[in-house]
């Protein structure tokens, strides 16, 4: 009976959400939280009502990236009220529930499961529900993943949901991809549809004028000739300074993320270059594709959002 009640509570809570998108990665530091946040920001600025749920219970970084750090959650009659980054984007994270921002959360599995269920059942995303719930998870496949997938599948099997599923983020490095294969196998085993693989930090693209050496420290025989070099370029061929340069950072070996996606028969959603403005948008808590629409990662990110 308790199990039945749990299921019907979850069903009720989730019935008002059109799409649920889990964001997964094999390793940490590949840009998963950045991409979760910026996908949520982009969808919300397109007018969708969006929830961003941070399930990284031991290392929550979503509130900072969405620009909502100092606020706390209100408990109302209808449940926990998320913290709003903008009128269309509600954020929920454990860090809103901690007394001190830097408190360490040292919890075992069952307690994490309990909180995840509470997040799903008790968060009041507002009248009208959500068009999208973006769920940021910790790296790997741990307690958090098993429990969110179990709760979701119990309440509304993801295979039946059509639009619900997982995005898997990886860098082009083989060490990251090796872990992503495990993630893809996890999805298969737990019947979570893979919406696609996103390749992040794929090369560095920037304007020549933004390269640091042109701003100081260009060394020629022990002499700083940055200024002269800049002057010469400006005078003789100013168009060069606005040229984009592109360089690979990670050695690409083997088939790469797109080849891996086709081996697993899942969509490849595209690649985002390293882009300092993506980092800046997260630091400022704003929508990257809106504020930095001309920046190299903006078009590929918009293309990914188009496909959700």
**Residue 119 CB, nearest approach to ligand ADP (Å):** 18
Q: Is residue 27 a known part of a binding site? A: yes
Q: Is residue 188 a known part of a binding site? A: no
Q: How many residues bind ligand ADP (CB under 6 A)?
A: 18
**Residue 272 CB, nearest approach to ligand ADP (Å):** 5
**Residue 294 CB, nearest approach to ligand ADP (Å):** 15
Q: Is residue 32 a known part of a binding site? A: yes
User: Looking at the DSSP assignment, which residues form a beta bridge with residue 130?
Assistant: 17
DSSP letters spanning 190-258: TT--EEEEEEEEEEEEEEGGGSGGGGS--EETTEE-HHHHHHHHHHH-GGGGG-EEEE--SPP-TTHHH
Binding residue (CB under 6 A) for ligand ADP from 32, 112, 117, 271: 32
**Residue 75 CB, nearest approach to ligand ADP (Å):** 28
Binding residue (CB under 6 A) for ligand ADP from 33, 49, 88, 287: 33
**10 Å Cβ neighbour count for 58?**
13
Are 97 and 89 spatial neighbours (Cβ–Cβ below 8 Å)? no
Q: Is 194 in the site for ligand ADP (CB under 6 A)?
A: no
d(CA 138, CA 56): 5
Q: Is residue 33 a known part of a binding site? A: yes
d(CA 282, CA 292): 11
Q: Is residue 196 a known part of a binding site? A: no
**Residue 10 CB, nearest approach to ligand ADP (Å):** 26
User: Looking at the DSSP assignment, which residues form a beta bridge with residue 21?
Assistant: 134, 165
DSSP 73: P
**Residue 253 CB, nearest approach to ligand ADP (Å):** 20
d(CA 138, CA 152): 17
Binding residue (CB under 6 A) for ligand ADP from 20, 22, 34, 54: 34
d(CA 16, CA 241): 51
Q: Which is nearer to ligand ADP, 30 or 289 (CB)?
A: 30
Name which of residues 65 to 94 contact ligand ADP (CB under 6 A). none
x/- site string to ligand ADP, residues 224 to 263, per CB under 6 A? ----------------------------------------
* H-run or E-run covering 7: helix 2-14
Q: Is 30 in the site for ligand ADP (CB under 6 A)?
A: yes
111 φ, ψ (degrees, to nearest 5): -70, -35
Name the residue with the smallest CB distance to ligand ADP. 31
Q: Is 61 in the site for ligand ADP (CB under 6 A)?
A: yes
Cα within 13 Å of Cα(257), Cβ side: 29
Binding residue (CB under 6 A) for ligand ADP from 26, 31, 165, 256: 31
**10 Å Cβ neighbour count for 101?**
12
Q: Of 170, 173, 304, which is closest to residue 248 (Cα–Cα)?
A: 173
Q: Which is nearer to ligand ADP, 219 or 284 (CB)?
A: 284
Q: Is residue 29 a known part of a binding site? A: yes
Q: Is 134 in the site for ligand ADP (CB under 6 A)?
A: no
Q: Of 150, 195, 154, which is closest to residue 24 (Cα–Cα)?
A: 195
Binding residue (CB under 6 A) for ligand ADP from 116, 158, 274, 308: 274
Q: Is 275 in the site for ligand ADP (CB under 6 A)?
A: yes
Interface positions with ligand ADP (CB under 6 A): 25, 28-34, 61, 200-201, 272, 274-275, 278-279, 282, 297
């Amino acid at each position: 009976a308790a199990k039945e009640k749990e299921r019907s509570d979850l069903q009720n809570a989730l019935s008002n959400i059109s799409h649920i998108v889990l964001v997964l990665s094999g390793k940490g530091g590949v840009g998963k939280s950045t991409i979760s946040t910026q996908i949520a920001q982009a969808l919300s600025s397109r007018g969708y009502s969006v929830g961003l749920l941070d399930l990284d219970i031991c290392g929550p970084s979503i509130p900072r990236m969405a620009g909502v750090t100092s606020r706390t959650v209100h408990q109302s009659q209808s449940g926990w009220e998320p913290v709003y980054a903008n009128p269309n984007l509600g954020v929920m994270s454990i860090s809103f529930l901690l007394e001190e921002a830097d408190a360490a959360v040292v919890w075992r599995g069952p307690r994490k499961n309990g909180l995840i269920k509470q997040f799903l059942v008790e968060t009041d995303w507002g009248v009208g529900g959500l068009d999208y719930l973006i769920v940021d998870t910790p790296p790997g496949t741990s307690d958090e993943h098993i429990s969110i997938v179990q709760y979701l599948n119990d309440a509304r099997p993801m295979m039946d949901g059509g639009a619900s599923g997982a995005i898997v983020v990886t860098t082009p490095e083989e060490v990251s991809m090796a872990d992503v294969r495990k993630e893809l196998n996890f999805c298969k085993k737990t019947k979570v549809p893979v919406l696609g693989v996103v390749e992040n930090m794929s090369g560095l693209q920037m304007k020549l004028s933004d390269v640091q050496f042109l701003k100081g420290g260009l060394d020629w025989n022990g002499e700083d000739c940055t200024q002269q070099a800049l002057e010469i370029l400006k005078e003789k061929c100013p168009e060069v300074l606005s040229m984009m340069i592109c360089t690979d950072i990670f050695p690409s070996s083997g088939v790469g993320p797109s080849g891996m996606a086709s081996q697993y028969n899942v969509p490849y959603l595209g690649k985002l270059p390293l882009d300092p403005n993506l980092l800046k948008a997260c630091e400022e808590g704003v929508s990257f594709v809106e504020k930095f629409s001309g920046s190299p990662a903006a078009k590929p990110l918009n293309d990914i959002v188009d496909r959700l």
